[in-house]
Structure 1
Amino acid sequence: MATNNQNEVYRLANCKVPRMELIYLSHMSKNYEPRAAMVHRCSGTTGCCIDPTKICEAKTTKIVELAFWESKSNVESKSIAVLKQFVNHTECHCVSSSKQRRKRNDMPCQCPEYFTNFGTQNDYQVDQVPNFSSTRSCRCDCHLSNSICQRLKNGEEGFSMSERKCISSSKCSQPVCNFGVYNIQKGRCPSPDSMRQQRGHRGPG
């Protein structure tokens, strides 16, 4: 029975074909229908590598455009059709865990998927990130060439449920965001629109 289950997992969850995953859209002042996009992704929750020292990651990707109904929040307005861009994984492969997202320095540091530890953060950033374990040895940021990471950093996409749990449980360090501090409740980085909304509520300084 164990052998049959093993063979079934490796057959159905092999790290070759990307699996469907829901990416939820959220916005401070807009509503979208449907609320989520279905895209293909390669990750540790969608693909299994036989070698335990390797993880499943995207080998090739492409940008896809999906249509949504968009309306303003808390305002009676007509919905309009808009196109939103998403990164779609087209092929998966197993890569060495030493090259993966959770790179370690002398002190333990785990970063969310697609993010890389770039070392020490400065004190200004430390003060802005509450309950940030090992902050001074961790700086989970993006390579410029990693488009998925950049979208997460810009607040264009939310983190997967597995990554949210990893961050909220402090197993993973919080990511560096472009427009503020990572929101644990929402599981995403702030977007430019959400930052403008917050400044508007504060009024003139």
Structure 2
Amino acid sequence: MIAKLSGRLDESGLDWAVIDVGGVGYLVHCSARTLTALGNRGEACTVYTDLQVSENDMRLIGFASGAERDWFRLLTQVQGVGSKVALAILSALSTEELRRACAGGDARMVARANGVGPKLAARIVNELKDKAGGFAEAVGGIGGGDMVVHPAGSASADAVSALENLGFKPGVAAAAVAHAEAELGEDAGLKDLVRVALKKAAG
């Protein structure tokens, strides 16, 4: 299974992008937030992915963060929520807004997404309410919030990868590195970022 792609943005549309990885173009369907995070055509980018397989179709869904992918997987477990609806929700709400909506039973906030009516919104928050509480600890343990997207090939992105290899969840790793970068400055080297980020993540 393809879990992540790192390459260059070849082209994009309203809800899709083509990522060129070593000369191979991967078509990924994305939320509006992810498309914005990918940057401009020709720029280096990284997307976390989820492969959706049905009887008549196979499609790769792309996300700017592991947190967004995790929420996509949670959303599509709810009856009546397919990949299109899940991406619409993730386009309308950040992962932190979605977490707060589910934890607080705020169906109105979820209903802001295109194609989500009041009944479906209520079902989503009811089914994910209990999961949202534990999910916040896994994704937002370093002060919460949406996962920061670190530019592919940068020291911060390498630091995130290093923490993930040590067993930290993507959201925790990205948040810890963001805090370390804020403390050390944008020119901080990989070793220093990893050293400080490890303290943040472990604390």
TM-score above 0.5: no
Query: Please, what TM-score do these two structures have when normalized by structure 2?
Result: 0.23
Query: Please, what TM-score do these two structures have when normalized by structure 1?
Result: 0.23
Write 1 or 2 for the structure with the bigger share of strand.
1
Write 1 or 2 for the structure with the bigger share of helix.
2
Please identify the structure whose Cα radius of gyration is greater: 1
